[in-house]
Amino acid sequence: MRHIQLTLVAIFALATTALAQQKASEKAVIKTPTVQCEECKGRIEKYLSHQDGITSVKVDFKKKTTTVTWLTDRTNLEAIKTAIANSGYDADDVTAEESAYNKLPKCCKKPAKE
């Protein structure tokens, strides 16, 4: 009987620990209208994958969207949009940081309006 009680206590402790380790995450689709090509896609995915708390990034340059999943206890949507802007691209209502945009290759910049 003593072994059964100890086993149940151990199972309960392991289950509680496993639940506590699960982190809350969120997912959002961000409009990135200035994404032009595969190179833009690679730049954003690489840049965001190094940001703390981001667990996945998928850029669709044809649809001009970026889908991001992140841990809510480490970052938030506004910080992610700012990170995209800091890499030189517009993100929803956040405009690209000008010096980062100027460093982008020519193919990644919007065509000048004439």
* Alpha carbon 17 to its chain's center: 27
pTM recorded for the entire structure = 0.76
* CB under 8 A, 24+ apart: contacts of 47-52: 47/83, 47/84, 47/87, 48/80, 48/83, 48/84, 48/87, 51/75, 51/79, 51/80, 51/83
CATH fold label, 25-108: Alpha-Beta Plaits (3.30.70)
Q: 92: closest CA among 52, 53, 41, 34?
A: 34
Task: Tell which wins on pLDDT, 4 or 72.
Answer: 72
Q: What is the pLDDT of residue 1?
A: 72
Domain ranges of the chain: 25-108
pLDDT bin (cut points 50, 70, 90) of residue 33 is very high
